[in-house]
């Protein structure tokens, strides 16, 4: 088959088949963001927050559900001793080394999850409403302001929602979801946006399965 050439390493995101989609103008847009470095940091902020800051130039979020952005790097609060650290793709190795040496005397864990998670950008004036078809989080501007991070279930997929930016009523959310759930979540998000004209995104289904039990059939 034509595409069966090994060749140079080829990187494919989970939603590589999916183009960005958009509803009626000024409503809603979905896009899988380009590859970026992601790490899970497990660390007691009391014990190692300063050392982490010294090593990476990043403060840890001062309170739950908050994020800290410094240039192209960001830290998202996931739990009292758990953070998602974001950086441009090229900085992954350097970041890991910096943390390893800067925190070598502090009990911590810095695990690369760049490939574990992908990120779907959900943006536009209807972004909040579209996401509320999937999650029980209160996404009203009074309850979910810019910079907020929350882990929740989005339909049947766990994910991390970060309101990165909002201007003139158009919110830009980033939704971090694990690889294997991306296709499902994309389809469900698109379905939620049908009301505003998002095109239908037929999920990849129809895998052939056996419809009879074949245990121990004879030779």
Partner 1 sequence: MFVITCPYCGERDLSEFAYGGEAHIARPEWREDMSDAEWAEFLFMRTNPKGILAERWMHAAGCRRFFNMLRNTATDDILAVYRIGETPPKVEARLPATPSGEAPIGSGNDAVKIIQPGEGA
Partner 2 sequence: MGKQPYRAPKGGLVQRNRVIRFTFDGRSYPGHPGDTLASALLAHGHHMVARSFKYHRPRGILAAGSEDPAGLVTIGADAKRRDPNTRVAEQELYDGLVASSQNCWPSLLTDFGAINDAFARFMPAGFYYKTFKGPPGTWTGLFEPIIRAAAGMGRAPEPGDPDRYEAINRHCDVLVVGGGPAGLMAALAAGRSGARVILVEETARLGGSALARDPDRLAFDGTQPAQWVADIEKELATMPEVTVLPRTCAFGYYANNFVGLWEKVSDHLPEDKRLGHLPRQRLWRVRAREVVLATGALERPLVFHENDRPGVMLAGAVRTFLHRYGVMAGRRPAIFTNNDSGWVAAFDLARAGAEIAAIIDVRREMSPQHLAEAARLGIPIHASSTVVATAGYRRIRQVEVRPLHEDGTVGQGGSKIACDVLAVSGGWAPNVALFSQSRGKLAWDGELAAFRPGLSWQRERSAGAANGTFALADALAEGARAGVEAAAAAGFASGDVTVPEVEGAEPGQGRIKVMAELPSHLPAHRRRAWIDLQDDVTAKDLRLAVQEGYSAVEHAKRYTTTGMGTDQGKVVNLNAFAFLAAERGEDPVKVGTTTFRQPYKPVTFAALAGQHMGPHFLPRRTTPMHAWHRRHGAVFEPVGEWLRPRAYPREEEDFFAAVQREARTARSACGVLDASTLGKIDVKGPNAREFLNRVYTNAWMKLAPGMCRYGLMLGEDGMVMDDGVTACLADDHFHMTTTTGGAARVLAKLEDYLQTEWPELKVYLTSVTEQWAVASICGPKSPELVGEILDDFDPDPEKFPFMAWREATMAGIPVRVFRISFTGETSYEINIPATYGRWMWRTILEKGQKHGIAPYGTEAMHLLRAEKGFIIVGQDTDGTVTPHDLRMSWIVKKSGDFIGKRSLFRSDTARTDRRQLVGILTEDPELVLEEGSHIVARRNEPAPPVPMLGHVTSSYYSPNVGRSIALALVESGGTRIGDRLFATRGGLPTVPVRVTETDFLSLKENRQLPQAPREALNG
Partner 3 sequence: MHGYNVLRLVREGLTGHKGWQPAWRKAEPKSSYDAVIIGGGGHGMATAYYLAKIHGMTNIAVIEKGWIGGGNAGRNTTIIRSNYLYDASAAIYNHALTLWKGLSRELNYNIMMSHRGVLNLAHDEGEARQLKRRVEANRLNGVEAEWLEAKEVKAFCPPISVAADARYPVIGATLQRDGGTNRHDAVVWGYARAASEMGVDIIEQCEVTGIATEKGAVTGIETTKGHIATPKIASVTAGHTSVIANMVGVRLPIESHPLQALVSEPLKPVMPCVVMSNAVHVYMSQSSKGELVIGAGIDPYLSYTQRGSLDIIEHQMAALIELFPFVSRLRMMRQWGGIVDVCPDASPIISATEVKGFYVNGGWGTGGWKATPGSGHAMADLLANDRPNAIAAPFTLERFVTGDLVAEHGAAAVAH
b/e map 111-130, b = 16+ CB within 10 Å: eeeeeebbbbbbbbebbbbb
The 8-class DSSP code of residue 137 comes to S
> By CB under 8 A, how many residues form the interface with partner 2?
68
Out of partner 1, partner 3, partner 2, none, what residue 91 binds, judged by CB under 5 to 8 A for its kind, is none
Q: How many whole angstroms separate alpha carbon 115 and alpha carbon 60?
A: 23
Minimum CB separation from partner 1 for residue 135, in Å? 9
Taking CB under 8 A as the criterion, the residue among 137, 185, 189, 192 binding partner 1 is: 137
Q: In this complex, which beta carbon is closest to partner 1, that of residue 64 or of residue 199?
A: 64
Check binding of 104 to partner 2 (CB under 8 A).
no
Residues 6+ apart with CB under 8 A from 20: 29, 30, 31, 32
CB 5 within 8 A of CB 20: no
The residue within the footprint of partner 3, chosen from 80, 208, 217, 219 (CB under 8 A), is 208
Examine residue 50 and tell whether it contacts partner 2 (CB under 8 A). Answer: no
Contacts of 139 (CB under 8 A, 6+ apart): 128, 131, 132
Segment contacting partner 1 by CB under 8 A, of 29-37, 87-95, 103-111, 144-152: 144-152
Q: Does 82 bind partner 1 (CB under 8 A)?
A: yes
Q: Is 213 in the site for partner 3 (CB under 8 A)?
A: yes
Burial degree of 56 (CB within 10 A; 0-12, 13-18, 19+): buried
Q: Is 65 left (phi over 0), alpha (psi -120 to 50) or beta?
A: left
113 vs 22: CA distance, rounded Å? 28
Q: How far, CA to CA in Å, does 25 sit from each of 9, 69, 170?
A: 38, 29, 12
The yes or no reply on residue 43 touching partner 1 (CB under 8 A) is no
Binding mask 105-134 for partner 2 (x = CB under 8 A): --xxx-xxxxxxx-----------x--xx-
Piece of the chain touching partner 3 by CB under 8 A; list 16-24, 48-56, 76-84, 203-211: 203-211
How would you classify residue 10: left for phi > 0, otherwise alpha for psi between -120 and 50, otherwise beta?
beta
Say whether residue 2 binds partner 3 (CB under 8 A): no
Which residues are near partner 2 by CB under 8 A? 1, 3-6, 8-14, 35, 40, 42, 81, 107-109, 111-117, 129, 132-133, 135-138, 140, 142-143, 155-157, 178-181, 183-185, 187-188, 191-192, 194-197, 202-205, 207-210, 214-219
Which residues are near partner 3 by CB under 8 A? 205-215
């Amino acid at each position: 088959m034509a595409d069966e050439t090994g060749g140079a390493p080829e990187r494919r995101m989970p939603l590589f088949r999916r183009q960005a989609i958009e509803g009626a103008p000024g409503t809603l847009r979905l896009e899988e963001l380009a590859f970026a470095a992601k790490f899970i940091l497990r660390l007691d902020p009391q014990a190692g927050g300063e050392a982490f800051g010294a090593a990476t130039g990043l403060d840890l979020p001062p309170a739950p559900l908050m994020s800290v952005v410094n240039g192209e790097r960001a830290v998202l609060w996931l739990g009292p001793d758990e953070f998602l650290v974001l950086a441009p793709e090229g900085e992954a190795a350097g970041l890991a080394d910096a943390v390893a040496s800067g925190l070598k005397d502090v009990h911590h864990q810095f695990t690369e999850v760049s490939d574990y998670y992908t990120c779907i950008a959900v943006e536009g004036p209807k972004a909040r409403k579209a996401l509320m078809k999937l999650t029980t989080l209160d996404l009203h501007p009074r309850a979910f302001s810019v910079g907020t991070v929350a882990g929740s279930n989005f339909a049947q997929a766990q994910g991390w929602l970060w309101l990165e930016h909002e201007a003139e009523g158009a919110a830009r959310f980033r939704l971090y979801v694990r690889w294997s759930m991306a296709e499902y979540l994309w389809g469900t998000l698109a379905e939620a946006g049908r009301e505003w004209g998002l095109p239908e995104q037929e999920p990849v289904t129809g895998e052939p399965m056996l419809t009879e039990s074949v245990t121990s059939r004879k030779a």
